[in-house]
Amino acid sequence: MYHHVPVMLKEVMAILAPRAGQKFIDGTLGGGGYTFELAKRVGQTGKVLAIDLDELAIANAADIIKQTGLNNIKLIQGSFGELMDLVPAQFKNVDGIVLDLGLSSAQLDDPRRGFSFLREAPLNMAFGNQAKEKTEVIINRFRAEDLAAILKNYGEERFARSIARQIVAARPLATTSQLLEAIGRGLPAAAKRNGKIHWATRTFQALRIATNDELANLQAVLPQALRLLKPGGRLVVVSFHSLEDRIVKNFFRNEAKDCLCPPAVPVCICDHKRRLKILTAKPLTPGVPEIKNNPRARSAKLRAAEKLKIKS
């Protein structure tokens, strides 16, 4: 069973407000929390397209569909970064699109993958098959400076250079526990004692983001999602990392403005027309009861916008 407790499900549904006969795209199927709720609400006359890079997520949803006899969900394995190419014609004008970024609990807990420092596993932090060897390549072949840049930029790790040096000295690394030891050697004792989160969290997160090109895929999907929405359609993005949230915030902000010329340009030459109305001036965050029930939700930030009813 592919276990994942959906984050901010109520808020996502309140914004998408799915009704019978509508069409939605869930770009990050995972355990199917959003997909199955959307499918229930759009009914027999509606349709949901669910995408995931992870073949296990797709297989789990296919099993549920078989058991329940639901016939209004289409599953596609692939990256939302290539959304336009993946989406069949009938989903090219949808009522809403949702993205719930990062990884699922099922992936985190999978002993065949290396997402968690709490489990002994090979160094594979890929969401799907497309990047199976990439984590190992980054860890075992990248120059120390490049490795340090990944840990600093994607993990905001203060001791990035020292950890990178220890990783390089310990090569070749093959498992999560070897990686954990190298990280430990790169950190001062005080940093290991005092942090709010486990001292290996930032490095593991940074390597996962780099393995899956997560920020580039997010940058790529947003304009494609906007094109696929019908006027009045809504886009909801749930993120768990400040860099992701910033990308979504800036995209929404730019697409909600008429002109993107730098202030020094006296008369607009870009001819940019606003195409979005922002629905969340500040990101929504989960309430205390949800965080209590599902601590994984604690860093979630939800942003939503609506496509304006003008020609795009």
Contacts of 311 (CB under 8 A, 6+ apart): none
* Binding letters toward ligand SAM, positions 120-159, x by CB under 6 A: -------x--------------------------------
User: Which residue from 18, 38, 50, 79 is in contact with ligand SAM, where contact means CB under 6 A?
Assistant: 79
Strands (E), the chain: 23-26, 47-52, 73-77, 94-100, 229-239, 276-278, 301-307
The conformation of residue 306, written as its DSSP 8-state character, comes to E
| Shortest reach from residue 174's CB to ligand SAM, in Å | 23
For CA atoms 309, 86, 43, 283, the dihedral sign is negative
| Shortest reach from residue 186's CB to ligand SAM, in Å | 28
The whole-angstrom separation of Cα 125 and Cα 108 is: 9
For position 28 contacting ligand SAM by CB under 6 A, the verdict is yes
Rounded-to-5 percentages of helix, strand, coil across the chain: 50, 15, 40
For position 34 contacting ligand SAM by CB under 6 A, the verdict is yes
Q: Hey, is 256 helix, strand or coil?
A: coil
| Shortest reach from residue 129's CB to ligand SAM, in Å | 11
For CA atoms 30, 34, 39, 40, the dihedral sign is positive
The conformation of residue 309, written as its DSSP 8-state character, comes to S
User: Which residue from 104, 124, 135, 211 is in contact with ligand SAM, where contact means CB under 6 A?
Assistant: 104
For position 217 contacting ligand SAM by CB under 6 A, the verdict is yes
The whole-angstrom separation of Cα 137 and Cα 172 is: 10
Report how far apart, in Å, the C-alpha atoms of 264 and of each of 170, 180, 269 are.
Answer: 51, 49, 12
User: Which residue from 15, 23, 24, 32 is in contact with ligand SAM, where contact means CB under 6 A?
Assistant: 32
For position 52 contacting ligand SAM by CB under 6 A, the verdict is yes
- Would you say 304 and 235 are in contact if contact means Cβ atoms under 8 Å apart? yes
* Binding letters toward ligand SAM, positions 53-72, x by CB under 6 A: xx--x---------------
| Shortest reach from residue 290's CB to ligand SAM, in Å | 13
The conformation of residue 176, written as its DSSP 8-state character, comes to H
Looking at beta carbons only, is 160 or 226 nearer to ligand SAM? 226
| Shortest reach from residue 311's CB to ligand SAM, in Å | 29
The whole-angstrom separation of Cα 104 and Cα 272 is: 37
Listed ranges 78-86, 114-122, 173-181, 273-281: which one lies at the site for ligand SAM (CB under 6 A): 78-86
| Shortest reach from residue 230's CB to ligand SAM, in Å | 22
Q: Where on the chain is the footprint of ligand SAM (CB under 6 A)? A: 4, 6, 28, 30-34, 51-54, 57, 79-81, 100, 102-104, 127, 212, 217
